[in-house]
Amino acid sequence: MKLFDPSRFPIFLAIALLGILTVWLITRARRGESFFIRKIAGLEAVEEAVGRATEMGKPILYVPGIDDANNIQTIYSMIILGYVAKMVARYETPLIVPIAKAFVMPLAEETTRQAYLDAGHPDAYNRNNIRYLSDEQFAFAAGVNGIILRERPAANLYMGSFFAESLLLAETGFQTGAIQIAGTANIHQLPFFVVACDYTLIGEEFFAATAYLSREERLVGTLKAIDYVKIVIIVVLVAGTLLASVHVNFLHEFLNLE
Amino acid sequence: MSLTQRIESLDRRWIFLVMLVAMSFPLIVHMKLPVRASPEARGFYENIEKLQAGDVVYLASDYDPGGKAELDPMLLAVLDRLFQKNVKIVGATLWPAGSPLLERAYKAEAPKYNKVYGVDYVHLGFKEGKENVMVQLGKSIREVFPVDYYGTPLDSLPLMHSGLNGKPIDKLNDTKLLVNISIGYPGTKEWVQQVRSRFNLPMISGCAAVSAPEYFPYVQSGQLSGLLGGLAGAAEYEEMIDRPGWGVTGMAAQSLAHVTIVLLIVLGNFVYFWNRRQGVSRP
Amino acid sequence: MLRREVPILLAMIVGWFMVGEFFFPWAEPAGTEVQQMAVIITATGVILGVANVIRINLLKVSRRERDWRYSILLLVGLGVMALLGTILPVVHAAVHGGGWKIGPFNLVGITDGTLFDRLYNRVYVPLSATMYGLLAFYIASAAFRAFRVRTMDATLLAVAAIIVMIGRVPLGEKIWDGIPLLTDWIMNVPQLAAKRAILIGAALGGIATGLKILLGIERNFLGSD
Amino acid sequence: MNDPWIWIEAIMTLAILSYLYKDNPVYKAAEYLFVGIASGYYLSIYFQNVLVPNLFVPSWRGVHAAFGPGTPAPTDLIRLSSLMLAVFMFMRFSPKGAWLSRWPLGALVGAYAGLAVIGLAQGDLIPQIDSNLLPIITPGSWSTLAGAQGLAQGMAAFLGLFSNVVLIVGLLATLVYFFFSLEHRGFTGRTAKLGVYFLMISFGASYGFTVMARISLALDRLRFLFEDWLGIHISG
């Protein structure tokens, strides 16, 4: 029984590199150091959409995905919900949040109430705008479509984990002419959001948006650590390609786990 | 209201009707079109052809009724070919609603080659635990599945204690090939991450068309030795083992439906831009 | 302490077992035990989900809320399947009953030949399959009403989609035998490069999140309390 | 055609399809029945395939070994403790003891985190980088171009020449798009824009495949209605 399996060394190296960078950058962020994160075009679109909706006095719809609280995307969607709620608190525009899983209900209520409080308008918080519709995927989509068609929100925001129902929501919203912005890491649903929405946060951009908004040290630290590792990967890719072109494959041998 | 405006604000139920006709007509009229094999489907075919009589494969049938339309034809074609080649099969599922589908497929194909349950094929049933189950199967099948789908202890199934050249089947590596039929999570991606690289077991996958594009990087990197994508994949495989089934018939109807969708996209945009030029269109 | 520290400590211990077992093969038996536990915990999670569905619908019926009559139908459906698949097998085992039958079907158990299996095949399967089948019609109406090629990005998406849709069906080859070859190239080269970048990005994000849990830095999986 | 069960399946199928015309009570009833039957099914399959063989039987053996005659084997004790931890999950509903259900949840999240770190590093990260270390000129592509007959093969072979270049440039450009430490201006901006184009082509491919998937789902139901229910012969 070998003590340490040598063929698995590159895996150990990758995990150790990312782990050390993450811890190092999080501690630096915790000591108050601020890091640069580029502008996320999707978030500017959110500000613009919320602004337009408040001018027209029409409601805003925020759908935090249909997955449960154990999906990291649902938890990150709460951060964006808090940001939007803080923006909306100053105006009378209603913020409607349909919910698909019972355990997400308290999270959404807590996030929105806290955001209204931080914005100095706790009284504007309306509890029955956070509505549990149904656990079943298509019943939930039908419920949200009902809200879109009846209450005609001016801005529809879809942030979180979506599945086959994304197409139904985006199409109905498109028909009512609302500004639509979506964000999800579920790659298979992005085509439908991209064609029907005005702007889409694609995969990692959705996670970067939460770091950009919250400036929370763990999120910012992780984002920067991943960026640094990406630089290493780009260097390895370029070096590997040049070497392979001259038939020198020591890099390929090193990384090849077969 | 001009014609183009009326078209643009068409009630969606007319579009539903157009789709219903586009899908039904080829079915009733038995339209048949030859199917061309894609490179990744050929890889799937070659890997099964390489198997010898008596080899054992692990069949991970990870799908539920939502995926039945695309994956039943694939599973039936694969079982037909494996039984024909006298390859033995250890089958199980990680999807709660998957066991009856595998059972029905076994019942449809096994009698054709008078294969005996427990000797030529085994159904271990469903186990919850997703990636955990996969890693543990790599170490001990009996620990995960103490009994099979019918409650029989594994050791009283001849296949489980006398696989290839008499060796008992304790873990995944005692089988020659991992054949995965997959609709989503847990599925092909998790099998590649947790089993293919870690236990170095060759693997081929038949998956729903929705997830096929995401698995092409695994084919190019050699982690997946073959891939069937959706009903088209099933039809290609049926064609290659010349056992035309629902895949081939379905593809004719699929063709007309795809053309309809393309026309709808083109028409939708033409009408939209035409109306905008007349300055009448909605946003 | 007991509310937050112990669960995080447990997460770290279990997590490091899983990682350790991979790099140091001699740690393997411990990993197996942890996996056994994960199998059961995930199963209990599902059973709690079903209990939640029962609770919500029973409340709905007792309070005569909107659509309460439909909730009765839901509870009946749930009750029949639970009776056949869970309650009766326990009773049958307890009283060492013989072959309990109802018409041509076995009353007890879930495999082929039982009433449970017949209800699964003739009620659950069509409902689930047709629910997803509706999407074919929705995708058609979305293609016509919500697929506007207004930007360069959307144009590229539309062109790729049309080539792939035509190239993957037999009709494509009939029009010009180059179309399927073009589809193969798109699927195996440009499309693959973008999906590979997404795969690498997701892997980095997943490893970082996993490591934060293993190092006790990530706590929000416990939910805010 | 006259088997009552075929009629039941047909009614279920048509009830759901009726939603396309209009939301109606028959559809709503079928939808609620679906959630009920599915929940009852899940409860039974978890009971039969997981709880009995993996929880009740081993814990009965564990209790028997621990308190019965003979010395309990260590594995039985470990197994009993892990089963106890799993049972705490049921405390989630009790108002006072809900925090106890966090213990097994913590262990579960830890297990999945450990597996994810290994699976993603070994299964995704390293192999995907390794398989993109490609020579710029696709080996053998010149000879295939020379040997290609006809316009179609000629086009495919011509594209084949650039396969590796496009794979390399596409991966790098898309990685730059998902890079958040530099503003999208100048060279990075243009590279990121190229990355978006690659993303759009990949979304187009996914759109095409998803259309195919959805249509085959509807086709399967139409086949049932025409062939099994109405008796019109269809499948090969």
User: Where residue A91 sits, what CATH number does that domain have?
Assistant: 3.40.50.1220
Q: Above 70 in pLDDT, residue A116?
A: yes
D198 domain-assigned: yes
Give the gap in angstroms from C-alpha C148 to the nearest C-alpha of chain A.
Answer: 7
- For C170, which of B140, B213, B251 is closest by C-beta distance? B251
Locate the chain A residue with the closest alpha carbon to B202.
A258
A29 domain-assigned: no
Average pLDDT of span A85-107: 87
D64 domain-assigned: no
Instruction: Using a CB–CB cutoff of 8 Å, tell me whether B114 touches chain C.
Output: no
Locate the chain D residue with the closest alpha carbon to C130.
D13
Q: Do B146 and D57 touch (CB under 8 A)?
A: yes
> Sorting pLDDT into bands at 50, 70 and 90, what band is A1?
very low
Q: How far apart are CA B191 and CA D111, in angstroms?
A: 17
Q: Do A258 and B210 touch (CB under 8 A)?
A: no
Question: Per the structure, how many domains does chain D have?
Answer: 1
Q: Do C39 and B272 touch (CB under 8 A)?
A: no
ipTM of the complex: 0.90
Average pLDDT of span A125-136: 85
| Neighbouring chains to C with at least 3 Cβ pairs closer than 8 Å | A, B, D
A254 domain-assigned: no
More confident residue, D92 or A64: A64
Percent of chain B with pLDDT over 70: 97
Average pLDDT of span C217-223: 69
D202 domain-assigned: yes
D14 domain-assigned: no
| Structure-block tokens of residue D41 | 């099914």
D140 domain-assigned: yes
* DSSP, res C86: I
Of A214, A173, A227, residue with least CA distance to A49: A173
Average pLDDT of span D147-176: 91
Q: Do B139 and C192 touch (CB under 8 A)?
A: no
Flag residues of chain B having pLDDT under 70.
163-164, 280-283
Instruction: Using a CB–CB cutoff of 8 Å, tell me whether B216 touches chain C.
Output: yes
> Sorting pLDDT into bands at 50, 70 and 90, what band is C31?
low
Structural domain range at position A115: 41-214
Note whether A22 and A230 are within 8 A (CB): no
| Structure-block tokens of residue D86 | 């799993």
Q: Which stretches of chain C sit within 8 Å of chain A by CB?
A: 19, 22-26, 52-53, 56, 131-132, 134-135, 138-139, 141-142, 145-148, 153-154, 157-158, 161, 195, 198, 200-202, 204-205, 207-209, 211-212, 215, 217-218, 220-221, 223-224
Residue D233 is predicted with a pLDDT of 80
Alpha helices in chain D, H assignment, sequence order: 4-17, 25-46, 57-67, 74-87, 102-119, 126-130, 141-147, 150-161, 163-177, 186-223
For the ranges A64-68, A206-210, B203-207, D184-188, the maximum mean pLDDT occurs at B203-207
More confident residue, D76 or B243: B243
- D-chain residues within 8 Å CB-CB of A249? 133
Structural domain range at position D141: 136-236
- D-chain residues within 8 Å CB-CB of B76? none
D34 domain-assigned: no
D9 domain-assigned: no
Percent of chain A with pLDDT over 90: 50
Q: Do D234 and B223 touch (CB under 8 A)?
A: no
- D-chain residues within 8 Å CB-CB of C47? 43, 46-47, 51
Residue D90 is predicted with a pLDDT of 73
Q: Above 70 in pLDDT, residue C205?
A: yes
Q: Which amino acid is at A79?
A: I
Q: At what angle do helices C190-214 and B212-220 cross, to 10 degrees?
A: 90
**Residue B117 β-bridge partners:** B121
Locate the chain D residue with the closest alpha carbon to C183.
D205
Note whether B100 and C121 are within 8 A (CB): yes
Q: Do C198 and A19 touch (CB under 8 A)?
A: no
More confident residue, A258 or A159: A159
Give the gap in angstroms from C-alpha B60 to the nearest C-alpha of chain A.
Answer: 22
| Structure-block tokens of residue A75 | 């938890």
More confident residue, A180 or D60: A180
> Sorting pLDDT into bands at 50, 70 and 90, what band is C224?
very low
Question: Per the structure, how many domains does chain A have?
Answer: 1
Please report the residues numbered 140 through 169 in chain A whose beta carbons come closer than 8 angstroms to any beta carbon of chain D. Answer: 142
Q: How far is CA B86 from the centre of its chain?
A: 21
Q: Above 80 in pLDDT, residue D74?
A: no
A156 domain-assigned: yes
Average pLDDT of span D1-17: 91
Locate the chain B residue with the closest alpha carbon to D110.
B132
